[in-house]
Structure 1
Amino acid sequence: MRATLEAGGKEARAQLPLLLACSFAASFAQSMMNIALPQVADEFGVTLSTANWLVTGYMVVAATSIALAAFLLRRLGLRTVFFIGCGALALGSGLALFAPNFWVLLAGRLVQAVCTGLFYSAVTSFIMANSDPARRGTHLALNSGTVAAGLAVSPVVSGLVLTGFGRHALFALPLALAVLLLAVGFFRLREVGPRGTGAVDPLSVVLGLGALVYGLGEVFRDPLPSLAVLAAGVAVLGLFAWRQLVLKDPLLNLRLLGNLGFAVGELLVMLGMMASFSLSILLPLYYEGALGFSAFLAGALLAGPVLANALSDVVGGRLLDRWGIWPLVPCGFALTALGLAVVALAAGRPLLALVVLASAVAYVGLGLVVAPSKTTALSQLPPSLYAHASSINSAFIQIASAIGSSLFVGVLSADVLAGTSRGLARAAAYDAGFAHTMEIAIGIAAASLLVSLAYAYRLRRRRG
């Protein structure tokens, strides 16, 4: 199908607003618990690392459902995948709405995650298949900006609901979104493009989910995990990767990573998303744990920087279409490293405004990184591989977010426990733990800057 969103593709253009609304709902549900982790830990008497499974477990299931999305889109079509995603969002939200304990709440979150995985992959695949190459960066950036807008609105709205009505009421919001999307989609959504055939390997689903849970959750639960656990997690991940390489119809076509331009571009996307999502968890934990702010105020302070990220996503896509990746992505990582460094210096001092401003600078930098890196990576491949590449991209984003969340929250949780056991006040322990996580984040951003410089310069020279 060559009718594009710009010309001739009336059916495709008609679907885009609804699919962008799906991206918003998916990102809203994904980040809605970031602001609530301290309250959940206190309510159910679990550690911060355990409460973080509401975030990390969500990412793991989302990554697995993303891997399934390419098969489902080929076999069932866009309309059926849409209804499966909306149904998962409604079912998971309803389960969590009435959850009497932590484990039922976690189960609801894991069901919700299916929606995020399917929607992220489906919308990206749709845009890649129906956008003119000259405008592809703009359309992907529009989708990234919509996702970022959901991430920005979610902590404010969730904080307000959590502060005013309690934890249960949080899940009425995504439930209402799911019902609204189902109603609109039933009348408006049509199939765009042909269906295909293929089979799915159930063992790959089990291995993928099991490997991620074991390899990420157990390794990063403790900042200093045993070498045996680390080796086991790596071995299972290696087995999953090997199966994908030898299967005729793999869940994730990892052979695409043999294209160096695609592989390095995906690495930059992962590094950017690791920083972005981790910051969206760490800042509320700092505001609530170290400064004693309410969930609503913590969410409100996060909203401005995340909205800046949404705007820079769109700007980054336009700049990419006009000038290319050089020097856009390296400048983005430089801004991120600078913003994180200022946050680290200002935290623990009476400089709240500077923390908010510096975090906005970091988020603007990340907006110049993620969408351009994603577009550049996908553009290294022929159109026939876009569906597979989109699934890899979306799955890797969730994996990176899970790694970042587990790593940084694990470090912060361990530092808080160690600090309070030494007699530090809880706020002081949170402050010290946050500073530690910022040091790690700055190191990752600096390394990412070096990789992006080499990658962008190489592509620039290759294109003359």
Structure 2
Amino acid sequence: MEQTNNIDTHTRRIVTIILLVTCFISLMSQTMMVTALPVIQKDLHVSMNAAQWLTTGYTLIIGVVTPLSSNMYEKFTNRHVFLTTLGIFIVGTVMGCFATNFLTLLAARLVQACAGGMLMSFQMTTMISIYPPEKRGSILGLSSLVISVGPAIGPTISGLILQVMSWRYLFILVLPFMVLAWICGYFKLANYSQPRDINIDILSVVISLLGTALTLGSMTALTINLWLGLGMLISGLLVLTIFVRRQLKLVNPMLKVQIFLKPSFRLMTIVTICAFMIMLGTEQMIPIFTENVQGVSSFMSGMILLPGALCNAVVAPIAGHFYDEHGPVIPLFAGFTVILLASIPLVTVNAHTPLWLLTSAYALRMVGNGMIFGPALSEAFTKLSLAENSHGTALNNSLRQCFGAVSVTMLVVISNLPAKLIVGIRTSLWVTVGLTFLMIITFIYYLSVKNHLKE
């Protein structure tokens, strides 16, 4: 997909609104099922382990599909990719509306996930392509808002719906918004990309699918059988190593993994991954703590997370605009400081910790995350050529999804290791503090490399 800076402002705004709304609903839909799992378990008479695949399978498919997105953007026009992908999501949503058994419902979720992985990458690649570099921070600030707030607000919205309606309305209420987005895209989304006649390497696709599926699937397997999970993880990493070696040899690779040789992309991608892991990990640990230690309802747990999502929504665009004007140093170091301050009450939680303190600490962490994610994402793309943007987006999204799944599984496993759950939860939250220090060290190293290259 070629960069197009000569698009008029009105068209850019329309495209931006369509993409952000579509991606937001897709990401929100991804986590809406979390609150509904107990209800679906009883209604469709399945075990909780089986019901869990409605969320685990969704994440797995997104991780598998995302690496394929870069080739799709190069081979087809932006209009073709958007309308087809959104059409697939609508089909999955309709299937969910009429699902009468668990297998049909699971199939509906997996079809949605196929489109969801493509939509997330398409949104980022398109926004980078249609805006000039000096606006990249602001526009990726909006993108990071969607990536952070969509999944965070999903369980809360789902909890509200399930108070008065059945789980089917999690699909029924999403459907008209997606159909409207498809209609708007059909009439308002013009062709501004130039597709190339490329040959997609089928063997690379198969290796990528297998490696990603084994690696992500191992995260679920680890919670069931340690040796099975480790075997799948090692096998997946070996297959992905073969995939990387093949990409380095191909003239037209499925993914240009060579862009990892660029320090800005490599190091700032690590920062975005750590920020995402911290966000998902905290988002997972707080409901586990409130529901299992303090006896709070799942709906109330979702409400505890809501202010954090709203804070992130406010901060992310501001941080992106600040990055455009002043660079990454101030927003990132401010974000690191805020996250560390918010960690103090989190790593010392006990059965008597007031809910307002948990809510405030999580909201503060989301403020810090909003300061970091957008500017770090923008900085990661500064040295990529126009032709490399779609590959960078696919790699960044794929790695973020994979490590996000790793963080959730890792923290849940750690929280269950000690005899007392409260000790395990504190330990898990200390791990997120460790990830914060990893971000700080990585960013300081990046600044030293950046300054060295200027000399």
TM-score, with structure 2 as normaliser: 0.89
Aligned residue number for residue 451 of structure 1 = 442
Aligned residue number for residue 146 of structure 1 = 146
| Residues 214 and 233 in structure 2, CA contact (< 8 A), matched pair in contact too | no
| Residues 342 and 355 in structure 1, CA contact (< 8 A), matched pair in contact too | yes
The structure-2 alpha-carbon separation of the partners of 1:443 and 1:55, relative to structure 1 and needing over 3 Å to count, comes to: farther
Aligned residue number for residue 274 of structure 1 = 277
1:266-308 deviation per Cα after TM superposition (whole angstroms, max 9, x unaligned):
1111111112123333333333333333333222221110111
Q: Is 1:112 equivalent to 2:112 in the alignment?
A: yes
| Residues 4 and 129 in structure 2, CA contact (< 8 A), matched pair in contact too | no
Q: Distance in 2 between matches of 1:235 and 1:147?
A: 30
SS at match of 2:173: helix
1:292-347 deviation per Cα after TM superposition (whole angstroms, max 9, x unaligned):
33333222221110111222211221221122121432332332233234212134
How far has the Cα of 1:355 moved from its partner?
0.9
Unmatched segments (≥5 aa) in structure 2: none
SS at match of 1:293: coil
Count how many residue pairs are aligned between Structure 1 and Structure 2. 450
Aligned residue number for residue 424 of structure 1 = none
Q: Is 1:156 equivalent to 2:147 in the alignment?
A: no
SS at match of 2:295: coil
The 5 A counterparts of 1:372-451 are 372-412=375-415, 414-415=416-417, 429=421, 431-451=422-442
Which region of structure 1 is more displaced relative to structure 2, 36-45 or 314-323?
Answer: 36-45
Q: Distance in 2 between matches of 1:131 and 1:57?
A: 34
The 5 A counterparts of 1:193-212 are 193-212=193-212
| Residues 263 and 446 in structure 2, CA contact (< 8 A), matched pair in contact too | no
Q: What amino acid sits opposite 2:352 in the alignment?
A: R
The structure-2 alpha-carbon separation of the partners of 1:57 and 1:190, relative to structure 1 and needing over 3 Å to count, comes to: same
Aligned residue number for residue 216 of structure 1 = 216
The structure-2 alpha-carbon separation of the partners of 1:156 and 1:229, relative to structure 1 and needing over 3 Å to count, comes to: closer
SS at match of 1:345: coil
The structure-2 alpha-carbon separation of the partners of 1:23 and 1:3, relative to structure 1 and needing over 3 Å to count, comes to: same
Q: Distance in 2 between matches of 1:379 and 1:452?
A: 15
Q: Distance in 2 between matches of 1:221 and 1:18?
A: 38
Q: Distance in 2 between matches of 1:27 and 1:241?
A: 28
Q: Distance in 2 between matches of 1:222 and 1:193?
A: 43
| Residues 222 and 411 in structure 1, CA contact (< 8 A), matched pair in contact too | no
Aligned residue number for residue 359 of structure 2 = 356
| Residues 155 and 303 in structure 1, CA contact (< 8 A), matched pair in contact too | no
SS at match of 1:291: coil
Q: What amino acid sits opposite 2:442 in the alignment?
A: V
Which region of structure 1 is more displaced relative to structure 2, 120-129 or 333-342?
Answer: 333-342
1:46-74 deviation per Cα after TM superposition (whole angstroms, max 9, x unaligned):
456x6544333322322332222222222
Q: Is 1:310 equivalent to 2:301 in the alignment?
A: no
SS at match of 2:226: coil
Decide which of 370, 375, 379 is 1:367's aligned counterpart. 370
Q: Distance in 1 between matches of 2:220 and 2:64?
A: 19
How far has the Cα of 1:2 moved from its partner?
6.3
SS at match of 2:174: helix
SS at match of 2:328: coil
Which region of structure 1 is more displaced relative to structure 2, 207-216 or 353-362?
Answer: 207-216
SS at match of 1:170: helix
| Residues 69 and 118 in structure 1, CA contact (< 8 A), matched pair in contact too | yes
Aligned residue number for residue 191 of structure 1 = 191
SS at match of 1:191: coil
Q: Distance in 2 between matches of 1:41 and 1:213?
A: 25
Q: Distance in 2 between matches of 1:136 and 1:198?
A: 28
The structure-2 alpha-carbon separation of the partners of 1:463 and 1:102, relative to structure 1 and needing over 3 Å to count, comes to: farther
Q: What amino acid sits opposite 2:174 in the alignment?
A: P
TM-score, with structure 1 as normaliser: 0.87
Which region of structure 1 is more displaced relative to structure 2, 31-40 or 231-240?
Answer: 31-40
Q: Distance in 1 between matches of 2:3 and 2:69?
A: 22
Q: Is 1:337 equivalent to 2:340 in the alignment?
A: yes
Unmatched segments (≥5 aa) in structure 1: 420-427
RMSD, matched Cα? 2.7
Q: Distance in 1 between matches of 2:427 and 2:117?
A: 31
SS at match of 1:198: coil
| Residues 35 and 285 in structure 1, CA contact (< 8 A), matched pair in contact too | no
Q: Distance in 1 between matches of 2:333 and 2:319?
A: 12
SS at match of 1:368: helix
Aligned residue number for residue 135 of structure 1 = 135
Q: What amino acid sits opposite 1:434 in the alignment?
A: I
How far has the Cα of 1:204 moved from its partner?
2.7
| Residues 163 and 294 in structure 1, CA contact (< 8 A), matched pair in contact too | no
Q: Distance in 1 between matches of 2:312 and 2:448?
A: 25
Q: Is 1:320 equivalent to 2:311 in the alignment?
A: no
How far has the Cα of 1:386 moved from its partner?
1.4
1:361-412 deviation per Cα after TM superposition (whole angstroms, max 9, x unaligned):
1111111121111110111222232122122222222222222233233444
How far has the Cα of 1:125 moved from its partner?
1.2
The structure-2 alpha-carbon separation of the partners of 1:9 and 1:196, relative to structure 1 and needing over 3 Å to count, comes to: farther
Q: What amino acid sits opposite 1:248 in the alignment?
A: V
Q: Distance in 2 between matches of 1:92 and 1:109?
A: 6
Q: Distance in 2 between matches of 1:396 and 1:307?
A: 26
| Residues 211 and 235 in structure 2, CA contact (< 8 A), matched pair in contact too | no
| Residues 161 and 170 in structure 2, CA contact (< 8 A), matched pair in contact too | yes
The structure-2 alpha-carbon separation of the partners of 1:384 and 1:301, relative to structure 1 and needing over 3 Å to count, comes to: same
Identity of aligned residues (%): 25
| Residues 64 and 213 in structure 2, CA contact (< 8 A), matched pair in contact too | no
The structure-2 alpha-carbon separation of the partners of 1:442 and 1:21, relative to structure 1 and needing over 3 Å to count, comes to: same
| Residues 142 and 316 in structure 2, CA contact (< 8 A), matched pair in contact too | yes
Aligned residue number for residue 301 of structure 2 = 298
Q: Distance in 2 between matches of 1:241 and 1:190?
A: 35
Q: What amino acid sits opposite 2:346 in the alignment?
A: V
1:244-271 deviation per Cα after TM superposition (whole angstroms, max 9, x unaligned):
2223322221111111221111111111
Aligned residue number for residue 32 of structure 2 = 32
Q: What amino acid sits opposite 1:62 in the alignment?
A: I
Q: Distance in 1 between matches of 2:452 and 2:435?
A: 26
| Residues 78 and 191 in structure 2, CA contact (< 8 A), matched pair in contact too | yes
